[in-house]
Structure 1
């Protein structure tokens, strides 16, 4: 076994992966504690030292994986994600780059790549992006049409909510989320009693129909990801079974040859 094989076995070992997960969790906690002035006054130096140690651990882990996989390291998007997160953390956070200190918390996002369950969830969300983009465009079109109508209908009645197109767009977005829309509707209905028809139809279309389509697309993406993972696992199992069967068959053939040779030797004797 070569050195690269040993390093690959190390980074793929479950105990090593669990260790990295715990380091990520502890690092996220320490970064959260650094936001407290009281904690910084008491143990600020210890927190900064622990942060540097954990950054060294992350750097060493990425370096080991880079050595273990070679150029194949960058073929996995999750490896590239980890590489970028650690790379941002290594940029000196002083002078013009002091804003990057706030980006250290991005290391907590490495839990996504370290925990398989989280990785599957994010993969499902990414798989649903094309469908979500189409539904988002449809939702935007519906809100825009409703905003133009509402501005023309209610701008004189309630200018603080429907005075211009931008204000109306924000009001309709707020209405879509269900936030305080009855107060807005009652204010308009005080002068336009039939305004409830507009609000009810708009909420039914935007909230109950279009937003539920988002959920349907996300669920579909999650199911596709799970199906793909199961298919990949079945293919891997089939390949392992085929290798095992080939090995057993080779051993049986070798055993048959040995038996045949023994028979020939006995016949000669």
Structure 2
């Protein structure tokens, strides 16, 4: 019993070293990319007619490997695994893959492609980008509020200006907001919106051009600015943490060297005292 208790921490430590090793991470990344390829091939009727059973066999084998990898991580890190959001994400993705896909739950079979999203938890650079985007959400809230106010004010104005001449586009506030959203995306804005409006209202460009400039360029750049600032802040925080860790390691090494030198000096003093005592005895 005691042997088993002593062996478990050793096995966990070895499992943790294996999971955190670069080779293991690269192997998991390769399996995820292989799974992405097989899932994409399954969308082709021609490929499925020729290699369907093989692809399904590969998919099942990959699911077993992913489950084994997840079990190894849970064994290695125990409670720490469930405190890691990325661990919960991986557990949810693999759990969905094991859900029954027959009958009314057949839609769950298509959710197997979510395994590809595990690249977000495996590749550190992708984790950093997602972390930066999540950190930018509070700053984006103010921009979303600004955009909402702009769409509301512009929607009311567009309904009053063009509602009678273009009821299919600006007949109600909801129609106007939807049309303005299409205008913001620049999808068919000239032929579908601006030219028909200018046939009835020659000065319509005085409304549409400022709206396009503000919504498409200014607001989009605000979003990009918030995300870039978040990425920069995250990078600076990580670099600061690395610098502090390096400084702590340097201080610890210096402290250890100082302690060693003090120990050597004390041993030299003791040796000198012993030599002096021996000389005194001989004299």
Task: Calculate the TM-score normalised by the size of structure 2.
Answer: 0.89
Deviation at 1:236, TM superposition (A): 2.1
Q: SS of the residue aligned with 1:2?
A: helix
Counterpart CA distance in 2 for 1:18 and 1:234 is: 27
Counterpart CA distance in 2 for 1:112 and 1:250 is: 45
Single out whichever of 197-206 and 28-37 deviates more from structure 2: 197-206
Shift in CA distance, 90/201, structure 1 to aligned 2, threshold 3 Å = same
Single out whichever of 106-115 and 67-76 deviates more from structure 2: 67-76
Counterpart CA distance in 1 for 2:255 and 2:13 is: 24
Shift in CA distance, 53/200, structure 1 to aligned 2, threshold 3 Å = same
Over the aligned positions, Cα root-mean-square deviation in angstroms equals 1.8
Unaligned runs of 5+ in 2: 1-8, 279-283
Higher gyration radius (CA): 2
Q: Which residue is equivalent to 1:251? A: 260
- Residue 151, structure 1, aligned to residue 184, structure 2: no
Deviation at 1:97, TM superposition (A): 2.4
Counterparts of 1:169-180 in structure 2, within 5 Å, are 169-180=177-188
Counterpart CA distance in 2 for 1:206 and 1:62 is: 44
Counterpart CA distance in 2 for 1:196 and 1:111 is: 46
Deviation at 1:58, TM superposition (A): 1.2
- Residue 188, structure 1, aligned to residue 185, structure 2: no
Total equivalences in the alignment:
269
Counterpart CA distance in 2 for 1:142 and 1:4 is: 56
- Residue 227, structure 1, aligned to residue 236, structure 2: yes
Q: SS of the residue aligned with 1:253?
A: helix
Q: Deviations along 1:14-56, whole A, 9 cap, x unmatched?
A: 1111111111111111111111111112111111111111111
Deviation at 1:154, TM superposition (A): 0.6
Q: Which residue is equivalent to 1:120? A: 128
Deviation at 1:251, TM superposition (A): 3.2
Runs of 4+ residues over 4 Å off in structure 1: none
- Residue 205, structure 1, aligned to residue 226, structure 2: no
Q: Looking at both structures, which has the greater relative contact order when contacts are Cα pairs under 8 Å and sequence separation is at least 6?
A: 1
Counterparts of 1:65-104 in structure 2, within 5 Å, are 65-104=73-112
Deviation at 1:264, TM superposition (A): 4.2
Q: SS of the residue aligned with 1:92?
A: coil
Task: Calculate the TM-score normalised by the size of structure 1.
Answer: 0.93
Q: Deviations along 1:119-177, whole A, 9 cap, x unmatched?
A: 11111111111111221121112112111111111122122221222221111001111
Counterpart CA distance in 1 for 2:228 and 2:214 is: 20
Counterpart CA distance in 1 for 2:178 and 2:260 is: 73
Q: Deviations along 1:233-252, whole A, 9 cap, x unmatched?
A: 11222232233333333433
- Residue 50, structure 1, aligned to residue 54, structure 2: no
